[in-house]
Structure 1
Amino acid sequence: MPDTQMRPLGAQISHMLKDRGVDTIFGIPGVHNQEMYRGIEEAGITHVLARHEQGAGFMADGYARATGKPGVAYVITGPGLCNIMTPMGQAYSDSVPMLVLSSCLDETAARRGQLHQMKDQRAAADTVCDWSEEARTAGAAYGLIDRALTEFATGRARPKHIQVPIAVLEEPAPAAPKAVAQGAKPAEALPDGVLARLASARRPLLVLGGGARGATDALRALMARCAVPAFTTYAGRGIVAADDPMLLGSALARPESAEVFARSDLVIAVGTELAEVDLWRAHPGHLGEMIRVDIDTESLTDGAGNTHAIEMTAENFLAALASSEDLPARFDWTAGEIAKARAGFRAGVEAEYQQIPAICDALKACLPEDTMIYSDMTQFAYAATEIWDMDRPGHWHHPYGFGTLGYATPAAIGGAVARRGKPTMAIIGDYGFHYTMAELGVAVELGLSLPIFLWDNAKLGAIEASMVGAQIAPNAVVARNPDFCRLAEAFGARAVAPQTIEEMQTAVRDAFSADGPTLIHVTPAVLG
C-alpha cells in the first residue's frame, strides 16, 4: 500500500532513502538540520555519529567504496557543509558515489548575521562535486535525490550535494513516490577496427584503471586467451590476476615505464584518466596508436596521445573483446621481458623508500584473505601501492588525485561499518593521523575490530624529500607527536608498539579479532 502519511519533509527524506536501499547515514546533527534526523530511526536507517563533518564525509566515502552503493551524509548549514567539502573533493577525484544532504538558510540576500550564514553555500559546494542544487519544495527534493541515485548507477559516479531550506524541511509533505526500476544496460558491439588493430600489432599493451574494476572477469578471460602485458593504475590493482606472467603491475609512475610504452605499438587504455597522479609525467611514452575506452568523454579528449576514442563501458568493451573468435593469441612480448621490467620497478621503489618495501611484504604476508585496506598520504602507502599486488580489485582505497591527509582512519571506519565480520584495516602516517584522530572514538563506540597501522617516521617525510630534491633546506616538516599509544588508550582503543617484524605481524593478526580498534604504532626502527 502506498504511504499516505504526511510527515515533515526532513523525515520523509529518510524514508525515501530507505526505500531506495540506503541503510546507513553518516553525519552530525545540529539545530539547522535536526528535521532530517526526525525520521532516521522510524525509517530503520543506522546513523553513525562522526566527531567532525570531515570524518563523516570520509566515512561515507569508505562505505561507498566498500559496497558500491552511495555513501550518504547529513550535515548542517554553513560550517558543516564547509567541513565536508574536502571529502567531497576527494570523492570527486576518485569517482566515489557520495550524496551529501544539508540544510540551508531560507534566504540570505536581505539578512546578515544569521547563524551559519554563507554568501552562497550552494555555489561553494559546487566547486568540489558533480553538481550542487537547492530543493525548495518536497517534489524538488525527491526529484533531485532520484536524479543523483540514477546518475550514480548509470554514469561516472561522483558526489552530489542537495540543500534544503530549514523551513521547507519542517513543512509537512507527502511521501516520496516509489522508485522507478532501472533497466540493465544492453551489451554493445565492439567498434569497427579494434580487432584489426590488435591483430596487426606485434607488441600491444593494456592499461587498466579503476573504471575497469567491474570488468575483472572479462579482462582475465581476455588475458587467458591473448597474452597481452598489462599495467594497472593504483586504483586498478587486482583487475589482473596477481600471478599472471603478463602483469607489469602498478608501476606507471616509475620513469622506466615510459620505456615499456615506447616498445609497444598499440596501447589500449580502459577506464583510466591517465592523470598526473597515475603517470607523474605529461605523456605515457608510447610512439604508436592508443585506443582509449571510457564512459567519460572528458577522458577521451585529453592530451594523453589518444588516436582512437571509444565511449563505452569497460565491461562491454572487454567482454566483447574476450569473446571474439578472431582474437590473436601470441605477440612478441615474453614473460621474461615482463619479469625483468617488474624487477627494475621494484628496485626503484627499494632505492627510493629504503626499508619500507620489506615491511610492506611482511604486512601483506600476515593479512587474512579478503582484507580491505584504506591508506593515507604517507610514504608507506606510496611505496605499497607500487609493489603490493592485489588478488582482487576494489580492496585497496587511497586518496588519489585530491590527495587529502587524514583520509584513512575515518574511511576505514566507513568500510568496517559496511563490512561487519570481514577484515578491514587502515594504514596512515603520523602526520595524517593528527587530522582525523578524533574519529578513533567512533571506532571504539561501534566496537569495530579495526587495525590502524600507524607509520611514524616523526616527520612529513615525503615533503622533506621533495624539499631536498629542490635544494630547499627542509623547513616545517617536523611536528611534535603525542604518545600515540597512550592517546589511543585514552579513547578506549587497544594500542601496541611492536619492536620487531614478528611482533608487528602478531599485533596485526590479533587486531582483526579484537573487540574494538587497535592502534599499531610502527617506526622505521622495527627493522633494526
Structure 2
Amino acid sequence: MTCAELLIRLLHERHGVDTVFGIPGVHTVELYRGLDGVGVRHITPRHEQGAGFMADGYARASGRPGVCLIITGPGMTNIATAMGQALADSIPMLVISSVNRRDTLGRGQGRLHELPSQQQTLAGVARFSHTLLDPAALPEVLARAFAVFGSARPGPVHIEIPIDLFAAAVEPPANWQAPRLYRPAPDPDGLALAADWLREAQRPLVLLGGGCVDAPEAARALIERLDAPCATTINAKGLLGRGSCDRHPLDLGANTSLPAVRELAQAADVILAVGTELGETDYDVVFDGGFALNGRLIRVDIDPEQLARNQSTALGLVGDAGRTLKMLLEHFPQPLSRDGVGRTRAVHEALALESDPAFMPFVPLFATLREVLPEAILVGDSTAPVYAGNHLVSQPAPRRFFNASTGYGTLGYGLPAALGAALAKPELPVVALVGDGGIMFTLSELATAIEERLPVVILLWHNAGYEEIRRYMDAHEVPRLGVDIQAPDFQRLAAGFGCAAVKVDTPDGLAQALGTRSTQPLLIEIDAHHWQRQFSTS
C-alpha cells in the first residue's frame, strides 16, 4: 500500500482513531485517497485554527487524542495557536501535516507553502515534531506519539510527511496490534512517607488538577478518607461530583485566587497536590503572587520537571495521578477525622460568591443552565460568563467544563471546541459560552456546525466589545483604544448560515430558548448590559 494509505490504516486499526479534522489541499490529497471507505469520519472546519480547537474539545470531552490532517505552510502556522493552547493544558492532539519534497527541504527556493523549517516552527508548540524521511518508519513514529498520549504528560505531537512520500509504496506491518502501555507508578517508599505525613497532619489540604480527571472515584474516596478540604483546578471541575448543596461537602472549587481559600492554604500543615502545575491561571488569576503554601508540600506528577516548578516541594512523587490516588487510598483503610467538612463550609461562607457583586449577574445564568441542561458540557472562550463560571460552576462529572481562559488563554476557542465535544459525546448536550469579541475569531465554524448537524447551544454574551480589556484600561488609566469594536447583527448572520437564533435578556427568556433545542445548532444572544442591570447592587 502507499504511505498515505498505511497512515490512515494505522490510525484507525492500530490506534482506534475514528474521527479526523482537516481541510484538503493540493499537498494532502493523497491522504484523502487513503481515507475513503475505511471507517474514519472526516470533519471539515473552515479554518485550520478551528480544526485544532475542535480536536482539542474532542480530546477533552472524550479522553482520546484529537487528530488533524493539515496542509503545508499556512495551514501549520494557522493551527499553531490551537497547538499552543493544547500544550499549555496537556491535551493529546496529533497533527499530521504535509511538507515540501525531501530534495527541496531547507533550500529556500520559494516553493508553494514553503517555510525555512516547518519542523522547527512547530517544535515549540509540540511535545515533539518529527519529519518522516523513510515511510517504513511510520509505524514507529506513530507509536511514539501514542506513547506520549497514553503514558507520559500529553500534549500536541506533530508529524510531517514530505509530499513525495505519500504515494511511496510501503510494506504494511506484520502485526497491527498496538502495544499495551501502562502509566508509571510512584515509588512505594515515597508513597508510604507521603501517607505518614498526611496521617499526622492536623490541617491537611488537597489540590487536584486536570491530570486526575480519569480517576474521579479514587479522588473522592481519598479526600473523604483524609477528611481534607480540596481545591480543584478549572480543568478538574466535576472531579468530586455534586453533593446535596450542588457541590461535594469537601469541595472548595476553583477558588484558590480568592482570600478565604488562600488563608486556608497558608494555614495548612500538609498539602497534597496531584496532577496540577500550581500555575498562575489556576492559583493566581488576580496576578498578585499571593498564593502561598507554608506547610509541607507533597507533589505528584507524571512529569518530573513539574515537581520543581512554582512552589517549593518537600516530597515529590513521579507517577500517573490516577494510579497514585488509588495506591495512596490503600494506605487509609479507615477515614480520619479533621473537621474537613466544617472547614470547607466556613470557607464558602466567607467567600459568599452568590452575593458577591462581581458574580451576582451570572448566578441566575448558570442556575438556569443547570436547571434546564443539568448534564451539559460547558465549553468556554475568554469571556465574562466563563471567568465567573470558573468560580461558580459545579459539574456532576469531570470533562464537562473546560475553556481557554487558563494557560495559553487564546480567543476563538469556545465555538469550535464545543463542536469537537459534541462529536465526542453526542449523548450529552453541549453549550459554548462565547463573547461577541471572541466569537469573531472563529465565527466561520458555524458553517461546520450546520453541515454536521451538531445541536450545540451557542450562548453569546454580547457586551459590545472587549469588556475585560476596557475595564483593565480604566483601572490603569489607559485611554480606551481598540476595544469599542463594532459587532455584526448576529441574528441575521446566524440566519445566513442557516442557524436558528434568538435574543434573550432574562433568565426566563433563557430557559424558554434552551427548551427549543433541536437537532441543529442554536445561537442564543444575551444583551449583557440589560442582563447585568437586573442583578446589579448599585
* TM superposition score category, shorter chain reference: over 0.9
Query: Which residue among 6, 10, 21 is the counterpart of 1:16?
Result: 10
The Cα of 1:100 is off from its aligned counterpart by 0.3
- Asked if structure 2 preserves the Cα contact closer than 8 Å seen for 1:350 and 1:356, the reply is no
TM-score by length of 1: 0.94
Q: Percent identity?
A: 35
- Asked if structure 2 preserves the Cα contact closer than 8 Å seen for 1:367 and 1:509, the reply is no
The Cα of 1:76 is off from its aligned counterpart by 0.6
The Cα of 1:137 is off from its aligned counterpart by 1.5
Pick closer, same or farther for the CA change 1:224–1:340 going to 2, 3 Å: closer
Pick closer, same or farther for the CA change 1:475–1:46 going to 2, 3 Å: same
Aligned to 1:324: 331
- Shifted more, 343-352 versus 44-53: the winner is 343-352
- Shifted more, 185-194 versus 141-150: the winner is 185-194
Pick closer, same or farther for the CA change 1:423–1:326 going to 2, 3 Å: closer
The Cα of 1:237 is off from its aligned counterpart by 1.2
The Cα of 1:181 is off from its aligned counterpart by 2.8
The Cα of 1:262 is off from its aligned counterpart by 1.5
SS of alignment partner, residue 449 of structure 1: coil
- Asked if structure 2 preserves the Cα contact closer than 8 Å seen for 1:321 and 1:327, the reply is no
What letter is aligned with 1:372?
Answer: I
- Shifted more, 296-305 versus 44-53: the winner is 296-305
SS of alignment partner, residue 213 of structure 2: helix
- Asked if structure 2 preserves the Cα contact closer than 8 Å seen for 1:25 and 1:72, the reply is yes
Pick closer, same or farther for the CA change 1:170–1:283 going to 2, 3 Å: farther
Pick closer, same or farther for the CA change 1:186–1:405 going to 2, 3 Å: closer
Query: Which residue among 276, 279, 282 is the counterpart of 2:283?
Result: 279
SS of alignment partner, residue 437 of structure 1: coil
Structure-to-structure mapping, 1:378-457, within 5 angstroms: 378-399=383-404, 400-457=406-463
Pick closer, same or farther for the CA change 1:349–1:291 going to 2, 3 Å: farther
TM-score by length of 2: 0.92
Aligned to 1:301: 308
Q: Distance in 2 between matches of 1:362 and 1:515?
A: 21
Note the alpha carbon deviations across 1:270-311, whole angstroms, 9 max, x for none: 110010111115463221111111111121011312111111
Q: Distance in 2 between matches of 1:325 and 1:341?
A: 26
Structure-to-structure mapping, 1:105-184, within 5 angstroms: 105-106=100-101, 107-176=104-173, 177-184=175-182
Note the alpha carbon deviations across 1:353-380, whole angstroms, 9 max, x for none: 45123322222222142x2121111011
- Asked if structure 2 preserves the Cα contact closer than 8 Å seen for 1:246 and 1:338, the reply is yes
Query: Which residue among 467, 470, 475 is the counterpart of 1:464?
Result: 470
Q: Distance in 2 between matches of 1:242 and 1:269?
A: 21
Q: Distance in 1 between matches of 2:156 and 2:36?
A: 25
- Asked if structure 1 preserves the Cα contact closer than 8 Å seen for 2:49 and 2:78, the reply is yes
Q: Distance in 2 between matches of 1:337 and 1:133?
A: 50
The Cα of 1:323 is off from its aligned counterpart by 2.3
Pick closer, same or farther for the CA change 1:184–1:111 going to 2, 3 Å: closer
The Cα of 1:162 is off from its aligned counterpart by 0.4
Aligned to 1:37: 32
Note the alpha carbon deviations across 1:442-475, whole angstroms, 9 max, x for none: 1101111111111111121111122222222322
SS of alignment partner, residue 504 of structure 2: coil
What letter is aligned with 1:291?
Answer: I
Aligned to 1:3: none
Aligned to 1:216: 216
The Cα of 1:349 is off from its aligned counterpart by 8.2
Aligned to 1:53: 48
The Cα of 1:334 is off from its aligned counterpart by 5.1
Aligned to 2:496: 490
**Runs (5+) with no aligned partner, structure 1:** 1-5
Pick closer, same or farther for the CA change 1:499–1:167 going to 2, 3 Å: same
What letter is aligned with 2:79?
Answer: I
1:259 has 2:263 as partner: yes
The Cα of 1:250 is off from its aligned counterpart by 1.0
- Asked if structure 2 preserves the Cα contact closer than 8 Å seen for 1:195 and 1:327, the reply is no
What letter is aligned with 1:209?
Answer: G
Q: Distance in 1 between matches of 2:16 and 2:423?
A: 16
- Shifted more, 161-170 versus 320-329: the winner is 320-329
The Cα of 1:186 is off from its aligned counterpart by 7.6
RMSD after superposition: 1.9
The Cα of 1:115 is off from its aligned counterpart by 0.8
The Cα of 1:11 is off from its aligned counterpart by 2.1
Q: Distance in 2 between matches of 1:395 and 1:34?
A: 35
**Runs (5+) with no aligned partner, structure 2:** none
- Shifted more, 145-154 versus 437-446: the winner is 145-154
SS of alignment partner, residue 191 of structure 1: helix
Q: Distance in 2 between matches of 1:345 and 1:401?
A: 25
SS of alignment partner, residue 169 of structure 1: coil
1:85 has 2:90 as partner: no
SS of alignment partner, residue 173 of structure 1: coil
Pick closer, same or farther for the CA change 1:403–1:183 going to 2, 3 Å: closer
Q: Distance in 2 between matches of 1:350 and 1:474?
A: 27
SS of alignment partner, residue 507 of structure 1: helix
What letter is aligned with 2:411?
Answer: L
Aligned length: 518
Q: Distance in 1 between matches of 2:312 and 2:184?
A: 30
Q: Distance in 2 between matches of 1:466 and 1:27?
A: 37
What letter is aligned with 1:324?
Answer: H
- Asked if structure 1 preserves the Cα contact closer than 8 Å seen for 2:151 and 2:184, the reply is no
